[in-house]
Amino acid sequence: MLILVINSGSSSVKYQLYDMPREICKACGVIEKVRNHHLALRLVIQSLLRGKKRAISSKDEIAAVGHRVVHGGESFKQSVLINKQVTKTIKSYSRLAPLHNLPNLAGIFACKRLLKRAPQVAVFDTAFHQTMPESSYLYGLPYAIYKRHAIRRYGFHGLSHRYVAEKASKILGRPLKSLKIITCHLGNGCSITAVDKGKSLDNSMGFTPLEGLVMGTRCGDIDPAAVLYLMKKKNLSINRTLELLNRTSGLLGLSGKSNDMRDILRLSRRGNKRAKLAADIFIYRIKKYIGAYIAAMNGCNAVVFTAGIGENQPYIRTKVCRGLSTLIKKFKIRVLTIHTNEELMIARESYRLLKR
């Protein structure tokens, strides 16, 4: 059964065609500088039909389309088959994640028109974290604000955290239900999850993907009073402030040079002090979260590193682990590096729903 996996972002559409349940990727690609999602998806299907390898000979061979949807709020604890009500609910969460959910929806609508026969599945980045208890997802705000405005911590990168946690349990040869795992997704966006007996207990991202670790261009944890102070002092608009916190902070803002860890470490090795400082802050924040999650779970069997930095930067992994060496020894924690595969997770989820 062929399942087309679509990750439809604001300026790019990534796709992979999976042969399930064999889990073989038959084609993949990315359309960049996307302005019109319908045109982009048409290009995707054309390239499957006519590309060098001709992955399919007719559109009808695509049995289903699995879409990555970033924000499922409190409504989606699992993946779902898409119908009108589902798209309406996804749209209602676009007020919480406008940069993500609207392009995700554009991809869904385009596929509906282009592949009329194929059922569509929505797989959410937030769903895995819907097991978080109130004690980890509520902020210390008045409870009525949570009830009225849905302001709480949601957690993100759920597909990646779940994928690597499941893989870790296979590598360790122990059931997920018997393990306490800390998964570190370190890419451009970075987040850490405490996976307790297979369930997300906590994730470092919050109401939006801005909270938590220092990232490529996002600042991570910050005292909200500092933000308000700055807005007042510099007379900043809300949009300008969001831009500052999301796009010009993090490694980029601290180093003044780059959001890319490869550049940061190269500059640091050459003696650039601000680049070294950026890397040090990045590492320190990771250590702090891992320590906190060992405490939150009252133990830990494995720490997993994944995504661009987690998989490819041994310097960062080593620094984090050296800083935690006492805890690692005490709890006999295994440290693993696992390649993440969010697209395969979407294909698996779509296949599981269709079979049902």
By CB under 6 A, residue 313 contacts ligand ADP:
yes
Q: Which amino acid is at 61?
A: E
CB of 256 vs ligand ADP, minimal distance in Å = 16
The owner of tokens 């957690």 is 155
Q: Which of 166, 221, 243, 260 binds ligand ADP (CB under 6 A)?
A: 260
* Number of residues near ligand ADP (by CB under 6 A): 12
Q: In what order do the strands lie in the sheet with 180-186?
A: 199-203, 190-196, 180-186, 302-306, 334-337
CA 138 to chain CA centroid, Å, is 20
> Is the CB of residue 156 less than 8 Å from the CB of residue 142?
no
Q: Does 4 bind ligand ADP (CB under 6 A)?
A: no
Cα–Cα distance for residue pair 213/205, rounded to 1 Å = 8
- Asked whether position 309 contacts ligand ADP by CB under 6 A, the answer is yes
Among residues 137 and 156, whose Cβ is nearest to ligand ADP? 156
* x/- letters, 325..344, toward ligand ADP (CB under 6 A): --------------------
Q: x-or-dash pattern for ligand ADP, window 194-223, by CB under 6 A?
A: ----------------------x-------
- The rounded distance, in Å, linking the Cα atoms of 204 and 211 is 7
Among 75, 131, 188, 241, binds ligand ADP (CB under 6 A): 188
Which of 110, 129, 269 has the alpha carbon at shortest distance from 194? 129
Burial class (CB in 10 A: 0-12, 13-18, 19+), 251: buried
Regarding 261 and contact with ligand ADP (CB under 6 A), the answer is yes
Binding part of the chain for ligand ADP, among 24-32, 94-102, 167-175, 308-316 by CB under 6 A, reads 308-316
User: In whole angstroms, what is the distance from residue 313 CA to residue 282 CA?
Assistant: 13
Positions marked active-site: 125
Select the span of 52-60, 90-98, 159-167, 305-313 touching ligand ADP (CB under 6 A): 305-313
Q: How far apart are CA 88 and CA 279, in angstroms?
A: 42
307 is a site residue for ligand ADP (CB under 6 A): yes
Q: How many residues are listed for the chain in this entry?
A: 356
187 binds ligand ADP (CB under 6 A): yes
Nearer to ligand ADP, 176 or 205 (CB): 205
158 binds ligand ADP (CB under 6 A): no
184 close to 305: Cβ distance less than 8 angstroms: yes
Which residues contact ligand ADP by CB under 6 A? Answer: 187-189, 216, 260-262, 307-309, 312-313
